[in-house]
Amino acid sequence: MEYKEAKDKFISTWGSLGSLWGINKAMAQIQALLFISTKPLSMEDIMEELKISRGNTSMNLRQLMDWGIVTKTLVAGERKEFFTTEKDVQELARIVAKERSRREIKPVIKVLEEVSSIKNDGSEKTKELIKQTKALHELTETMDVMINKLVDQKQNWITKSVLKLFK
Amino acid sequence: MEYKEAKDKFISTWGSLGSLWGINKAMAQIQALLFISTKPLSMEDIMEELKISRGNTSMNLRQLMDWGIVTKTLVAGERKEFFTTEKDVQELARIVAKERSRREIKPVIKVLEEVSSIKNDGSEKTKELIKQTKALHELTETMDVMINKLVDQKQNWITKSVLKLFK
DNA sequence: TTAAATTTTCAGTAATTATTGAAAGTTTAA
DNA sequence: TTAAACTTTCAATAATTACTGAAAATTTAA
């Protein structure tokens, strides 16, 4: 496999994976492109490389910046803006985990809390609703705590401390 | 908040969350409904409760069974089929984690392996592609191993052994 | 200032994904 | 057997989501 083929394969695979972890294809592909680029890319570069429109590029870059994954960089002597992505995979994982916790898990926890604390009128179905949503609440919260603690361990958290636990 | 409101809130929240972790709304809502039901439900019950068509119900129940989350159960004296979902949240989490690993993570790992092992022609961009996809490969594989090990710990894996690690 | 370069916004459209409903298929009781 | 009860399939359609392209807005060089 040559460079071009490998690159395209990486970008398209990462792109379709993106839609699974909650971001759209273009957003994931832009990130992938920046991730393997040796230098900052302009909007033109990205549009051309991925064959997507200016508007699409602009909107998705904005979202990536909202996530904190991509940043604008100045290139000496150039008027237009250039973009780079976080290059360290572990830092990337930390950012994604934090954002997903904030955007998705926290709101669900809130609803589960509300639902599981309704008044128990003694009926079978109310008891079951309370019991099951409580269990779900506990699980979700524990996972959320785990994720956040995990990603707070800056140095080699995965390879060092966690893996050996489950040898 | 009364039972009906709490139930609806739970089902709709779980439904919209579903689309985030890779299954569609109807599928997630059916699972949610079964999860808080005190008895097995028939297709009619589900259709009526969620106001969805027979076809939709049938297809999504099938998918839930493919995932191993929902099972058919016989109800004495009844001709039609009834359905139940796994009621234990931890078992549920294990099933979901395993399935996601198999369906999503494993294929990505395969591509990352391929891409990161292309011939190094010595150019900057090839070196960067190899370096970055290798890092991603390592991270993804480690996370996958973690998830699978985690969910193999049957008893109280989360609350007992993991949480205290990150106190 | 101003006008060229660049980016953003957004209405319209395209592409994708989910849902319906009815016909075809299957199962079961008698 | 057969016919009623029930389930599945799938073409048609609806709903949702993504993308385009051009006009409006912003930035910068002179």
Tell me the nearest-neighbour CA distance from A40 into chain B, angstroms: 13
Domain boundaries, chain B: 3-85, 89-166
pLDDT in the model for residue A146: 81
Which nucleotide's C1' sits nearest to the alpha carbon of A83? C7
pLDDT in the model for residue A165: 53
Q: Label residue B145 by pLDDT band (50, 70, 90).
A: confident
CB B93, CB A139: distance < 8 Å: yes
| pLDDT tens, residue by residue, B73-114 | 999 999 999 999 999 998 998 898 888 888 888 999 999 999
Mean pLDDT of B53-74: 97
**Residue B20 pLDDT greater than 90, yes or no:** no
Q: Where are the alpha helices (DSSP H) in B21-53?
A: 25-35, 43-50
CB-contacts to strand D (7 A): A 19, 24-26, 51-56, 59-60, 79; B 19, 42-44, 54-55, 58-59, 61-62, 78-81
CB contact burial A66-89 (16+ within 10 A = b; e otherwise): ebebbeeeeeeeeeeebbebbeeb
- Cβ neighbours of residue B131 closer than 8 Å, sequence gap 6 or more: none
Tokens of A110: 């809130």
**CA–C1' gap, B69 and C30, in angstroms:** 36
In this structure, the number of other CB atoms found within 10 A of the CB of residue B143 comes to 16
pLDDT in the model for residue B18: 85
Query: In what helix (H) or strand (E) does residue A70 lie, and over which residues does it extend?
Result: strand A70-73
Measured in whole angstroms, the distance separating CA A120 from the mean position of its chain's CA atoms is: 38
pLDDT in the model for residue A8: 96
pLDDT in the model for residue B137: 94
What is the spatial distance between Cα B25 and Cα A44, in angstroms, rounded to a whole number? 37
Tell me the nearest-neighbour CA distance from A57 into chain B, angstroms: 22
| pLDDT tens, residue by residue, A27-44 | 999 999 999 999 999 999
pLDDT in the model for residue B2: 92
Mean pLDDT of B105-124: 94
The torsion angles phi and psi of B7, rounded to 5 degrees, stand at -60, -50
DSSP E strand boundaries for chain B: 41-42, 70-73, 82-85
**CA–C1' gap, B17 and D10, in angstroms:** 28
| pLDDT tens, residue by residue, A1-32 | 899 999 999 999 999 888 777 789 999 999 99
Tell me the nearest-neighbour CA distance from A42 into chain B, angstroms: 17
User: Within 13 Å, how many C-alpha atoms sit on residue A26's CB side?
Assistant: 17
pLDDT in the model for residue B166: 47
Residue B66, SS3? Answer: helix
Partner residue opposite A115 with nearest CB, options B6, B163, B165: B6
CB A90, CB A157: distance < 8 Å: yes
User: What is chain B's mean pLDDT, rounded?
Assistant: 89
**CATH number for the A3-85 domain, one of 2.70.98.10, 1.10.10.10, 3.40.50.2000, 1.10.599.10?**
1.10.10.10
Partner residue opposite B6 with nearest CB, options A20, A129, A146: A129
CB B22, CB B104: distance < 8 Å: yes
CB B116, CB A10: distance < 8 Å: no
Q: Which residues of chain A have pLDDT under 70?
A: 151-167
- Within 8 A of A128 by CB-CB distance, chain B residues are 36-38
**Residue B167 pLDDT greater than 90, yes or no:** no
Q: Across the interface, do A10 and B111 touch by the CB < 8 Å criterion?
A: yes
Query: What size, in residues, is chain B?
Result: 167
Q: Name the pairing type of β-strands A70-73 and A82-85.
A: antiparallel
Residue A74, SS3? Answer: coil
pLDDT in the model for residue B162: 52
Q: Across the interface, do B89 and A135 touch by the CB < 8 Å criterion?
A: yes
Q: Return the DSSP state at B39.
A: S
Q: Across the interface, do B133 and A36 touch by the CB < 8 Å criterion?
A: yes
